[in-house]
Amino acid sequence: MKILTVLTYYRPHTSGLTIYAERLARAFARRGHQITVMTAQYDQSLPREEMMDGVRVIRVPVAVRVSKGVIAPTFGLVATKLVWEHDVIQLHLPQFDAPGVAFRARLFGKPAVLTYHCDLRLPPGLFNRFVNLVVKFQNNMAGILADHIVTYTQDYADHSSYLSRYRNKLTPILPPVELPPPAPGSVEAFAAAHRTRERRPVIGMVTRFAAEKGVEVLLEALPSVLEKYPKAQVLFAGQYQNVLGEQAYADRLMPRIKKFEEMGCWKFLGNLSQQQLAAFYPNMDVLVVPSLNSTESFGLVQVEAMMNNVPCVASALPGVRRPVQMHAMGKVAPIGDSSALAGALLAIFAEKEKYRCDTATLVQRYDPDSVAQEYEKLFEKLM
């Protein structure tokens, strides 16, 4: 099968969406499909075309950046050729160019499947409000033109104003999650470098520093935790400096975080590779996902933590709450409620051994090959 995957950003860009797309594309390639990824050349130093792990990646030059998106004048021209050459089209939303690609798929009689990752909400401002409206319009046009839509969970779909319009062509498929085994000695080396044997319990947060991620909820919960566990520490893995569109948010929170840094109970680790994360998770006592709105639809990092028998505290957002609920590996806290988050953390620390799961079954359930099989069944049905 010749599969064309279309999205705005692909590797080496890092986000939950790009990681999902990369894992799925690699799985398709391993399973013998001819897979092409069409994306934007958001960084001019990246090659226009290359092979990455058996996946052909074609990058279209970008003329202008608009907020978190891009405008690539030749995107439509390249899409016309590639849609014609492939058997099935998979589009990742949110994406400005999706309706144009879906229209070409319909024109050429090729099935188009949308994978809807989350809602898009840009920072406040008149211009960003206009961009939000444009993207919503584009997403709705893509939804109308597409043959089918995939979402992570039915829970998220039931509460999404976008997905609820397309119930008749909607299929939930759990996302692909994988983590390499830690390198020999890396878990111990991480523990020594970050004093995780001395400063416990360890609260992990794996995300970029952005307003919708609810960093301030953890900040406000931390004093209650420190009152009972004075040696507790937060290890924050992910981009925390120069995050696009988040400077005002960082400026507001950083003075408070610096006080915790000086106390030795907060540490930024920066972006970690998958191999580094494999050493990071076994050093944690709990992972927190205190996200605040529907720009988060699942939280892949929860499953990564659970694969290491690390429980999670997730906010009660539709979709985000499902990993904890499905696998009984943690607690769900009301959205934005720092007191409830602190209470959930303290409850987990008091009976941490209660939170164990069958990691082998969990790994199999989210294995990218298993997810690719579900997509294959859908593609074959549509074709």
CA angle at 143 for the pair 167 and 315, rounded to the nearest 5°: 65
* Contact predicate 67/92, CB 8 Å: no
What are the structural domains of the chain?
2-176+367-382 (3.40.50.2000), 186-363 (3.40.50.2000)
Tens of pLDDT, residues 209-237: 999 999 999 999 999 999 999 999 999 99
Rounded to whole angstroms, the Cα distance separating 93 from 101 reads 12
Cα distances from 185 to residues 80, 128, 188, 199, 308, in angstroms, run 50, 47, 5, 20, 16
Rounded to whole angstroms, the Cα distance separating 277 from 273 reads 6
pLDDT of residue 122: 62
Ranges of residues in the chain whose predicted pLDDT is under 70: 66-69, 121-124, 127-128, 131
pLDDT of residue 315: 97
**Single pTM value for the model:** 0.89
